[in-house]
Amino acid sequence: MRTVVLAIAFTLGSITSLAQSSILSSEGVIYNTGTVVVRGDAIMSQTDIGGRVEYTRNVPSDSQLVAQITYFDVHFEGGSEKRLSDPSKVLIAGNLFSTRDALTRLALNTSSRIEVRGTISHYGVINPGAPLGLMIANGTVLQNIQGNGFVPMLTLNNAAGAAVTRGGGLRVGERLDLQLGRMQSTVADNLVVERDGWIWRSDDGSIDVQPVTDDRVNVRYYGDARVVGGPELPQDDFTLRQLVVANRAGVELPWNTHVNDSLILFGSIYTEPDMATRYTLTFTPAFDPFYDETLPEIDGIMVRTAIAPGRDIVMNSAFTTFAFADDAAMGNVARIELRSKPLTVPTPFSVGIDKVRRFFTLRMMDGARELVPDERFTATFGYSWRADFVRGYDSAAVVETIAELAGREDSLVLLRYNGENYVEEGTSQLATLRSANGAWRHSRSLGVVRNGDYAIGFPSSAQAFILYARLLLEGAVRRTGDDVARVMSNDLRQRNLVPATPPNEYPYTLDPLSQSIAVPTMPDSVVDWMVVELRSDAGGGTTYYRTVLLTTQGYLIEPITHTPVVLSGVAPGEYFIVFRHRNHLAVMTEARERIERTNTKFFDFTSGANVFGGAAAQRVVGTTNGSRIFALVAGDVTNDGEVRRNDQDAVWQRRTIEGYSLYDTDLDGIISTADWNRSWNNRGRTSAVPR
Side chain identity at residue 555, one-letter code: Y
- pLDDT(483) > 70: yes
Interhelix angle 673-681/645-652, nearest 10 degrees: 180
- 497-555 pLDDT tens trace: 999 999 999 999 999 888 878 888 899 999 999 999 999 999 989 899 999 999 999 99
- pLDDT(10) > 50: no
**Alpha-carbon dihedral angle through residues 397, 398, 403, 405, given to the nearest 10 degrees:** 180
The rounded distance, in Å, linking the Cα atoms of 113 and 270 is 36
- 257-313 pLDDT tens trace: 999 999 999 999 999 988 889 999 999 999 999 999 888 999 999 999 999 999 999
Q: Where are the domains of the chain?
A: 286-461, 465-681
The rounded distance, in Å, linking the Cα atoms of 76 and 106 is 8
Residue 24, pLDDT score: 87
The residues that bridge with 412 in the sheet, in sequence order, are: none
Mean pLDDT of 442-456: 95
Residue 677, pLDDT score: 95
> pLDDT-based confidence at 569, cuts 50/70/90?
low
Question: Quick one: CA dihedral 506, 510, 516, 520, positive or negative?
Answer: negative
The rounded distance, in Å, linking the Cα atoms of 578 and 535 is 8
pLDDT, the chain, mean: 91
The rounded distance, in Å, linking the Cα atoms of 587 and 614 is 10
* HSE value, Cβ hemisphere, 13 Å, CA-based, for 20: 2
Mean pLDDT of 372-390: 96
- pLDDT(168) > 90: no
Q: How far is CA 196 from CA 173, 175, 239, 385, in A?
A: 8, 9, 9, 36
The rounded distance, in Å, linking the Cα atoms of 538 and 577 is 9
| 523, 674 contact by CB (below 8 A) | no
Other beta carbons within 10 angstroms of residue 405's beta carbon come to 24
Mean pLDDT of 176-191: 97
Residue 7, pLDDT score: 37
| 192, 169 contact by CB (below 8 A) | yes
DSSP 546: E
Residue 335: enclosing H or E segment and its boundaries?
strand 335-342
How many percent of the chain have pLDDT more than 70?
Answer: 95
The rounded distance, in Å, linking the Cα atoms of 422 and 347 is 10
Residue 352, pLDDT score: 76
Residue 330: enclosing H or E segment and its boundaries?
helix 327-330
> pLDDT-based confidence at 8, cuts 50/70/90?
very low
In terms of average pLDDT, the best of 21-30, 73-82, 506-515 is: 73-82
- 95 versus 85: the higher-pLDDT residue is 95
The rounded distance, in Å, linking the Cα atoms of 250 and 228 is 9
Sheet with 602-604, edge to edge strand ranges: 565-567, 465-470, 602-604
The rounded distance, in Å, linking the Cα atoms of 27 and 67 is 12
Find, among 656, 677, 657, 683, the residue nearest to 665 by Cα.
677
- 2 versus 132: the higher-pLDDT residue is 132
The rounded distance, in Å, linking the Cα atoms of 392 and 219 is 27
Mean pLDDT of 558-562: 81
b/e 456-483 (16+ beta carbons within 10 angstroms → b): bbbbbebbbbbbebbbbbbbbbeeeeee
| 558, 546 contact by CB (below 8 A) | no
Residue 1, pLDDT score: 43
> pLDDT-based confidence at 599, cuts 50/70/90?
low
- Give backbone dihedrals phi and psi of 217, rounded to 5 degrees, phi first: -150, 160
DSSP 284: -
- 404-429 pLDDT tens trace: 888 888 889 999 999 988 888 988 88
- pLDDT(568) > 90: no
Mean pLDDT of 180-188: 96
Other beta carbons within 10 angstroms of residue 207's beta carbon come to 24
Residue 391, pLDDT score: 87
The rounded distance, in Å, linking the Cα atoms of 218 and 261 is 9
Q: Which of the four CATH numbers 1.10.10, 3.30.70, 2.60.220, 3.90.550 does domain 286-461 have?
A: 2.60.220
Mean pLDDT of 16-31: 69
- pLDDT(170) > 70: yes
E strand residue ranges, 350-439:
358-365, 379-386, 413-417, 422-424, 427-428, 433-434
- 602-661 pLDDT tens trace: 899 999 999 999 999 999 999 998 899 999 999 999 999 999 999 999 999 999 999 999
Other beta carbons within 10 angstroms of residue 540's beta carbon come to 12
How many percent of the chain have pLDDT more than 90?
Answer: 77
The rounded distance, in Å, linking the Cα atoms of 369 and 684 is 75
Residue 637, pLDDT score: 97
- pLDDT(192) > 80: yes
Exposure of 413 by Cβ count < 10 A (0-12 exposed, 13-18 middle, 19+ buried)? buried
Q: How far is CA 551 from CA 73, 545, 588, in A?
A: 79, 19, 19
> pTM for the whole thing?
0.69
- pLDDT(596) > 80: no
Residue 420, pLDDT score: 85
b/e 132-158 (16+ beta carbons within 10 angstroms → b): bbbbbbbbeeebbbbbbbbbbbbbbbb
Residue 510, pLDDT score: 95
What's the distance, CA 658 to chain centroid? 46
DSSP 527: E
- Give backbone dihedrals phi and psi of 392, rounded to 5 degrees, phi first: 90, -10
